Amino acid sequence: MQSSRRFGEKEKELSLFQIDAEGEWKGERSRSFFIAKELARRGYPFQFVVQPDSSLQKRASEAGLPVLPIKISSRGNFLSVLRLFRVMKKEKCRLVHFHDDTSLAVGSAAASFSKVTLRVASGPEDSRKKSNLFRQKYIKDIDAIIASSEGVERDFVDGGLESHLIEVIPFGMDFSPYQDNAAKDYLGQELALNPNDFLVGIVAPLGDQKMIKYLIRATRYLRDHSSRIKVVILGGGQLSMDLEKEFNEIEGEELVFFLGYKDDSPRVFNSLDVFVCAAGLESLNRGLVEAMICRLPVVFTRVGEIPEAVKHRKTGLIVSPRSPKILANAVIRLFEDRELAASLGQKAYEFVFAQFSAEAMASRTIDMYESLAKKRGVRLV
């Protein structure tokens, strides 16, 4: 839904409030920030209420968002309620989204006094640590509660919340750190590799000796095909000295590099040409998402459940488990057919952007606002 009226205009008839009393920038977990950006993009009039002099206020101000610094202290604080009530009434608030416990506790009273029609609350990311707020008076007038996963949704329902109130909207990742094309040569420089080398990143449990032997045999097939193919082990765990020695003695060639887990994962993933998941995954893990953000073709071993994101010959290649030659052949196919590799990588990126980006999360949230408003006959713009 688009609007010709922009948030910067003086004569706003109504406003949507985003309230984040924590006020801290949490990177990709800063749900309120990304929703505010999407509201601005769509032209909605809104106020972004944050703690004064907080890191979130700084980020929002730098992004040109309409920041409203209001000190929101402990739950039930009368002055905090009064501050919010006055500004909600003045700005004719029609919808408010509480992003944390303090916002909910203080803001719900202010919303009641100023007769805000629609109210949304984000539930805690870890439902096991949820406070009593979600079982008490603060949610009695809430129109929707956002759960970050289906597991959290089940916990909420088990705790007594009505299922029709709960909307599952996962946290979205901020893809911007992964868009640095200059990082393409990062690993090559770190490991003193040839610019023409083909880097294969592998995530695997290094404590699983059977899996490591499987990778050793696959690596030998890669070595026999081309010395330009280099393997970068990204997984964690204890690797026995014998197995590490065996890896490093593949006819004396510098073929395998052990990086473990690194803090600069955007640069690491951007340096790779192929990503291999040589282990079973119960769900879509971060490493796989990071690889797909970087437009890497994925080779996934069929162990356990196949994540929805990995679709054979569409976003990656799925191979049989415990077959080193089949795994190696899939990598070699991508080494030889760069057009196929680029196509798989692009489709992988498109999938994760639509499902797991911060922009997708914000868009779904605002779509939910619009749906709630339509049901209640409330005008948001």
Question: Rounded to an integer, what distance in angstroms lies between the CA atom of residue 246 and that of residue 216?
Answer: 8
As a residue count, the chain comes to: 381
| Confidence at residue 24, expressed as pLDDT on a 0 to 100 scale | 86
Mean pLDDT of the residues in the chain: 83
Contact between residue 125 and residue 29 where contact means Cβ atoms under 8 Å apart: yes
| Confidence at residue 348, expressed as pLDDT on a 0 to 100 scale | 94
Give mean pLDDT in consecutive 10-residue pieces for the chain, a chain of 381 residues. Answer: 41 79 83 95 94 94 95 77 93 94 89 94 69 58 89 83 89 85 79 89 73 81 91 68 58 60 79 84 69 93 71 89 90 96 95 91 96 90 76
| Confidence at residue 5, expressed as pLDDT on a 0 to 100 scale | 40
Query: Do 15-174+357-376 and 176-356 fold alike per CATH?
Result: yes
pTM of the model: 0.78
Question: Rounded to an integer, what distance in angstroms lies between the CA atom of residue 372 and that of residue 96?
Answer: 12
| Beta carbons within 8 Å of 215's beta carbon, 6+ residues apart | 202, 204, 231, 233, 278, 324
Question: Rounded to an integer, what distance in angstroms lies between the CA atom of residue 360 and that of residue 351?
Answer: 11
CATH of 15-174+357-376, one of 3.40.50.2000, 3.30.70.240, 3.40.50.9100, 3.40.50.80: 3.40.50.2000
| Confidence at residue 120, expressed as pLDDT on a 0 to 100 scale | 96
Domains of the chain: which residue ranges? 15-174+357-376, 176-356
342: left (phi over 0), alpha (psi -120 to 50) or beta: alpha
The yes/no answer on whether domain 176-356 falls in CATH 3.40.50.1110 is no
pLDDT above 90 coverage of the chain, percent: 43
